[in-house]
Chain A
Amino acid sequence: MAGSDEVNVNESKSVVPLNTYVLISNFKLAYNLLRRPDGTFNRELDDFLDRKVPANAIPVNGVFSFDHVDRTTGLLNRVYLAAPENEARWGIIDLEKPLSTTEVVPVIIFFHGGSFTHSTASTAIYDTLCRRFVNICKVAVVSVNYRRSPEYRYPCAYDDGWAALKWVKSRPWLQSGKDSKVYVYLAGDSSGGNIVHHVAVQAADAGVEVLGNILLHALFGGQKRTESEMRLDGKYFVRVPDRDWYWRAFLPEGEDRDHPACNPFGPRGRSLEGLKFPKSLVVVAGLDLLQDWQLAYAEGLAKYGHEVKLLHLKEATIGFYFLPNNDHFYRLMEEINEFVHSNC
């Protein structure tokens, strides 16, 4: 047993920079401590270990942020905006003007990952990522602090996503362009990617316009074991049994992985034919054991007649976008940049 683990360890170590290896291995280790075999979760230790940062209304390297809380629901969104040109306005939150009256400034509603269980909008890896989105992709970002499992199972995360979408759409200060509207894209990694899909479906059903979906190695699955799951199990930071645990923690008790939340195009899935569904950028990491599900998702969208761009980064592992120390990171940013600005 120890022998095969050693092989696995060396494999992941050889495909990512050392500091990335340390970062993701650390998460893997910490998360192993937190999941209990009986399906419960050590939330206090998770909170203790999670590295968080507060928002900062004073711009740092061109980006500032602030948090908004809905008092009745407790839902928190963290808003990231480009710093005002006028330095005298730094630190002052102006909610009276739109983002622009001439240009379109896309607003990305971001759902952080963590398999529905870990991380928050304040978690440093995600705060950092959102800041990079603003700076590199010239967008505004709203990061949603959705409720997590196992304390809050399906559909809580989706409900929070939907609430966030409605909130964002109704903020005058997130409007842009000559037609003064909020140009919304949904983005998310891991469980966040899964949330993107489901919120987009809800939006399409309700006639709420979402201009595009960005799914970063999204969490999808199903009862059957795909070839990539079997081939890559335990090789690049992720194990299949761990994935199962998180689905058991998120899905309603007693449900299996063919539940449509997990497997939207599976046996219990729903047809998206004829639905006014946004275009999608589906990003797949070639060393992610879930890639078969993500590839199937992209195919499913195409089958229903929806626009899909597949970005298959064959040598990327999960979490490649946390550190800007590899080609995949830059490729991703270029693609997102193009994706959100091509409509204007």
Chain B
Amino acid sequence: MKREHHHLYPQTDPSTSASAAAGKSKMWDEDGCGGGGDDELLAVLGYKVRSSDMAEVAQKLEQLEEVMFSAQEDGLSHLASETVHYNPSDLSSWLESMLSEFNPLPPPPGGFGGGPLSVPVAAAPPRPQPVGDPFLPRAESSSITTVDFGADQRMQSSCGRSSQMNEPRPEIGSSGIVFDEESSSDYDLKAIPGKAVFGRAQAQAQAQTRTRLASTSSSSTSSSAVTAKRFKSSPSDAAVGAAPESSRPVVLVDSQENGVRLVHALMACADAVQQDNLSIAEALVKQIGFLAISQAGAMRKVATFFAEALARRIYRVYPQNPPLDHSLTDALQMHFYETCPYLKFAHFTANQAILEAFEGKSRVHVIDFSMNQGLQWPALMQALALRPGGPPTFRLTGIGPPAPDNSDRLQEVGWKLAQLAETIHVEFEYRGFVANSLADLDASILELRPSDAEAVAVNSVFELHKLLARPGAIEKVLGVVRQVRPAIVTVVEQEANHNGPVFVDRFNESLHYYSTLFDSLEGCASTQDKAMSEVYLGKQICNVVACEGADRVERHETLAQWRVRLGGAGFVPAHLGSNAFKQASMLLALFAGGDGYRVEENGGCLTLGWHTRPLIATSAWRLGGPSAGAAH
């Protein structure tokens, strides 16, 4: 049929974006690749369906249509607003989960693979939480009261057991998903009207919600674009890590000819540095300086940071690592936290996954690899406090680097959280561990308790990539995480490959990444916050470009690469669902910084980005069982 047309068309399907390393050439096959693999034509369009499953998937579609038709409006609205959806790329599982809502049957023997957290235990849609928190005093103005946060007797109060709001019992759906939509929580995002028409009514309602939420939170986050599932890494040893991908999402904002010229000059300079043509590089760096001045806004700043980093490389004046002044780093991070939604999104989405995993557990333990100022935990603690049936006892283990002035930052943070815990009546226990590197940790240090007594979450926000600077470190840490036997592992990382073996590639990738990131900051109102955030990011740029070896810790890798690493270490995906997506999107919409932020769903993970470029990705994981390899 189509063979007669072949003379017009190239052998390879131009739409596929398999990495250059894989370089597959697709056959024009009516049904895709046929046989046991995924249908390649659908894969390119974002749908993972095994060719051998195609007929079955078609059947499920038909069944679902029939069932939806008979169920009429109630059924449809139920599926649309009550049901939590997971990983729409996996058509078979997605359809199956919807079918099971109508036909309560046990799940198929294969299970849901890397399916939703709620299988088979009922999980309430997580309550939306305020992501910023008025309870946590700002770092500069803390007043620490002495609290014995180890003694839990005083903490416990009768309030812990009773819900503060009159809530109907959550209804258990047939598939075990708990529908809790009748909740009348202050944080109930359903109160935001569903009217799709953005008129005055919507704006008013948003303003009302803004006011209501403002009393407890002032933050919002933005979303990120989906990285195509078709970015396949070539199969590789997990110990070595995933192969770098050949992908560069570029978003030009108001394409100015000078901006592009500046980018070219920077890339040429990096090239010269790589070739060791230092005199050319030096000349280019100076030229870049002039070009940068004529630029406005984000491009000028980004160019300046990259030029400085290149200069350091050229003149061999390498930055010190780790940074000397922690209070400066803390302050910078706090400004970054306030200025733009990335950290808030990271915390919010990770907390969603943790909450779901902690459902029904009476003792929970969070091990935080990224303790810093503990900004993530007030929101989680509040959500736990508001749980129907009362909060669990909450143990937090915070891990952080040593402070050169021997101050006990970790303990200070713990004290503040203990204070909060007392006011919201959550039994709280805290332990801080100082470690130069996460790889210095052993499971024995963490004082684990039997996993039937305590559910553990391991949380890492922008920390894992640092381990890639030393051979064996990531493997060791993932091994320790396995030993902890966590109910959930939450990982947030930059969505970029800044760890390729070739300097010029790293340079170019990071140039585009940080350009987009800086662009997103431009909408920020406060110039001081913005400036501090830029310095915060500037340090990362310097590290990516000017450092090498163990000093180069900003070794960002993409979601696809982390999937390979974590999969190889025996973890299976725990998908984030449409509830988390919706809440993150809505909080983002409240964020005053700009309309460009986007939350996107990527194979069970959520990304946040600026316009179409994903910038950070949140993923959640649990321990794979004996059939871990079979999970998607």
Chain A interface residues (CB < 8 Å from chain B): 1-2, 5-6, 9, 13, 17-19, 21-23, 25-26, 28-30, 32-34, 36-37, 39-45, 47-49, 51-58, 60-63, 66-71, 74, 76, 78, 91-96, 121-122, 124-125, 127-129, 131-132, 134-136, 150-152, 249, 322-327, 329-330, 333-334, 337
Contacts and interface: CB of A to CB of B under 8 A. Distances in A.
Contact of B252 (A61, A93, A129, A249): A93
Most buried by A among B41, B54, B581, B586: B41
A98 B262 CA distance: 19
A54 B5 contact: no
B246 interface: yes
A66 B14 contact: no
A58 B246 contact: yes
Contact of B79 (A33, A327, A329): A33
A22 B58 contact: yes
A92 B268 CA distance: 10
Nearest to B611: A69
Nearest to A56: B247
B27 to A, nearest CB: 11
A33 B81 CA distance: 9
Contact of A45 (B30, B54, B260, B582): B582
4 nearest A-B residue pairs (beta carbon):
A51-B46, A135-B14, A54-B249, A128-B15
B578 A48 contact: yes
Nearest to B195: A40
A283 B218 CA distance: 51
B480 interface: no
Contact of B260 (A18, A76, A95): A95
Contacts of B612: 52, 54-55, 67, 76, 78, 121-122
Given A48-B578, A48-B601, A70-B254, 14 more contacts: A2-B69, A18-B55, A22-B42, A51-B88, A53-B46, A54-B226, A55-B251, A67-B251, A78-B612, A93-B263, A128-B44, A325-B2, A326-B2, A333-B5
Given A34-B80, A48-B88, A54-B225, A322 B69 contact: no
24 contacts: A18-B54, A19-B41, A22-B54, A23-B47, A25-B58, A40-B195, A41-B196, A44-B581, A45-B582, A48-B578, A52-B228, A52-B600, A54-B228, A54-B247, A58-B247, A60-B17, A74-B596, A127-B15, A128-B45, A135-B14, A249-B196, A324-B28, A330-B8, A333-B8
Interface in B230-260: 230, 246-255, 257, 260
B47 A26 contact: yes
B194 interface: yes
A19 B54 contact: yes
Contact of B253 (A30, A55, A62, A71): A71
Contacts of B277: none
Contacts of B250: 55, 57, 66-67, 93
Interface in B213-230: 225-230
A45 B252 contact: no
A27 B545 CA distance: 44
Nearest to B264: A92
B45 A51 contact: yes
Contacts of B64: 29
Contacts of A322: 45
Contacts of A1: 69-70
Contacts of A152: 198
Interface string B560-600: 00000000000000000010011001100000000110011
A136 B14 contact: yes
B69 A36 contact: no
A245 B196 CA distance: 13
Nearest to B247: A56
Contacts of A34: 80
B226 A51 contact: yes
A44 B76 contact: no
B260 A93 contact: yes
Given A2-B70, A26-B91, A49-B88, A56 B578 contact: no
B226 A52 contact: yes
B247 to A, nearest CB: 5
Interface string B1-32: 11001001110111111101000000011111
Given A58-B247, A327-B1, A48 B85 contact: yes
Interface string B67-102: 011100100110111000100110100000000000
A61 B10 contact: yes
B209 to A, nearest CB: 15
B8 to A, nearest CB: 7
A25 B42 CA distance: 13
Contacts of A53: 17, 46, 226-228, 230
A37 B80 CA distance: 12
B148 interface: no
B39 interface: yes
A26 B45 CA distance: 12
B511 to A, nearest CB: 10
Most buried by B among A2, A28, A329, A337: A2
Given A51-B226, A53-B46, A95-B255, A151 B54 contact: no
Nearest to B61: A25
B197 A57 contact: no
B13 A61 contact: yes
Nearest to A337: B8
A203 to B, nearest CB: 22
B383 to A, nearest CB: 20
Contacts of A18: 31, 54-55, 58
A61 B255 contact: no
Contacts of A37: 73
Contacts of A136: 8-9, 14
A78 B250 CA distance: 10
Given A19-B32, A54-B228, A124 B44 contact: yes
Contacts of A78: 612
Contacts of B609: 54
Interface in B249-288: 249-255, 257, 260-261, 263-264, 267
A233 B39 CA distance: 30
Contact of A124 (B46, B194, B249, B614): B46
Contact of B196 (A56, A70, A151): A151
B49 interface: yes
Contacts of B254: 69-71
B196 A43 contact: yes
B365 interface: no
A51 B196 contact: no
B613 interface: yes
A132 to B, nearest CB: 6
Given A48-B581, A53-B228, A76 B15 contact: no
B42 A67 contact: no
Most buried by A among B15, B246, B614: B15
A162 B601 CA distance: 31
Nearest to B2: A330
